[in-house]
Structure 1
C-alpha cells in the first residue's frame, strides 16, 4: 500500500488529507445526528404529561431546553406561548433555524471533499501524463519503464480521487437526508404543541398523534 501511495506522486498527499477529513466528518456527524438524541420520540408526550398534571414550571422548561435540540425548540414555544400563536411560531422558527444550522455543520465540507477529490485525482493524472510526454520527448519511446512510471502515477491518483469521492458523496447524501427527516419531525412536533396551547388540538388526543 505504501508503495502504491509513493508511486502516486505528491498529489497523493492532498488526496489522503481529504480522505482523513471526510472520514472524521462522517464519523462525527453520524454520531451527532442520532435521531433519538436530536428529537426523542417521547419528548412531546412528556410535555403533555406535565401540562395535564399542572407540573409545567420554569424548572421543567429549563430541563426541557437542555435535553435536546427538539426540547430547545419546544421550550422556546412554551416560553412565548402567552404572547399569541404568531409570536410563539416565530420564536419556534428562530430557535429551529439555529438548531438546523448546527445539524448541518460540516456537511458542506463533506460535500466539498466529494466534489474536489476527483478533481485532485484528475490533476494527478494530468501531471503524470505530462511526465510521460516529457520522457518521450527527452528519450524517445524506448524506455518503457520510465513511461510506465508516469502512466502509473496518472492512474493511481485518478483511482485514489474516486475512492475518496464516492464514499464521501454517499455519506453526504445520507446525512443530508437524515437532517431533512429530523427537521420535518421537529416541525410536526412543534406544530402539535402550538395547536394544543392555542385550542386547536386537544391534549388528550395529542399523545396518539405524537411521533
Structure 2
C-alpha cells in the first residue's frame, strides 16, 4: 500500500485527505442517524397519552420533549400551536420539518462533493504523472519499454485511488439520504396521529362547554 502511495506522487495527498474526511463523515452520520436517536421508541405514543388525558401541558414538559430527539422537536412544535387551528399547526410542522431535514443532512453535501471530486483528482494525478513521464522521455529518450509501461501503471494509480474514494462515498451518500427520507415519512405519520388526538381532545372540550 505504501508503495502505491509513493507511486502516485504528491497528487495522492489530497486523495488521502478526502479518504479520511469521507470515513469520518460516514462514522459520524451512522452515529447521529441511529433510529433510536431520531425516532425514540414509544415517544409518539407517550405524547399522545399526555394529550388524551386532557391535563394542561406545562411549558417545561414541552421543552423537555423538544430536547429529546428530532421527533420530539417536531411534536413539541405541534404542541406549541395546538390551540391555533389545524392549518397553523400544519404550517408549523412543515417549517420545523424543513429545519430538521437540514440538520439531519449535515455533512452529506460534503460527502457528495467527495464522491464527485475523487475521480477528478485521480484523473488530475494521472495527467500529472503522464506529463512527468513524457518529459522524462523528451530528456532521456524512450529507453526500456518495460520502464515506460511501469511509468504508465504508476500514473494510473491516482485514477484507481480516486475511484476507490468516490464509489463508497457515493454509496453512503445515497444510503444516508434514503435513511433520512424514511425518517421523515415516519415523523410525518407521528405528527398526523398526534393531530388526530388533538382534534379529539378539542372536540371533547367543546362538548363539555
TM-score for the superposition, normalised by structure 2: 0.89
Cα separation, 1, equivalents of 2:7 and 2:73? 52
Unaligned runs of 5+ residues in structure 2 are: 204-209
2:103 matched to 1:102?
yes
For 1:167, the equivalent position in structure 2 comes to 168
Q: How big is each residue's C-alpha offset from its partner over 1:150-184, in whole Å with a ceiling of 9 and x where there is no partner?
A: 31331211111111111111111111110111011
For 2:44, the equivalent position in structure 1 comes to 44
Secondary structure of 2:41's aligned partner: coil
Matches within 5 A, 1:7-156: 7-55=7-55, 56-144=57-145, 147-148=148-149, 150-156=151-157
Deviation at 1:43, TM superposition (A): 1.1
Cα separation, 1, equivalents of 2:194 and 2:168? 39
Residues 135, 147 of structure 1: 8 Å contact kept: no
CA RMSD of aligned residues (A): 2.0
- Extract structure 1 runs of 4+ deviating beyond 6 A: none
Deviation at 1:145, TM superposition (A): 6.2
For 1:206, the equivalent position in structure 2 comes to none
Q: When the two structures are aligned, how many residues end up with a matched partner?
A: 202
Secondary structure of 1:83's aligned partner: coil
Q: How big is each residue's C-alpha offset from its partner over 1:55-76, in whole Å with a ceiling of 9 and x where there is no partner?
A: 5332321221111111011011
Deviation at 1:7, TM superposition (A): 1.4
For 1:5, the equivalent position in structure 2 comes to 5
Cα separation, 2, equivalents of 1:154 and 1:199? 69
Cα separation, 1, equivalents of 2:184 and 2:167? 26
Residues 48, 197 of structure 2: 8 Å contact kept: no
Residues 89, 194 of structure 1: 8 Å contact kept: no
Q: How big is each residue's C-alpha offset from its partner over 1:26-65, in whole Å with a ceiling of 9 and x where there is no partner?
A: 0001100011111123111101221233453323212211
Residues 15, 121 of structure 1: 8 Å contact kept: yes
2:186 matched to 1:190?
no
Unaligned runs of 5+ residues in structure 1 are: 203-211
Deviation at 1:18, TM superposition (A): 0.4
Residues 52, 197 of structure 2: 8 Å contact kept: no
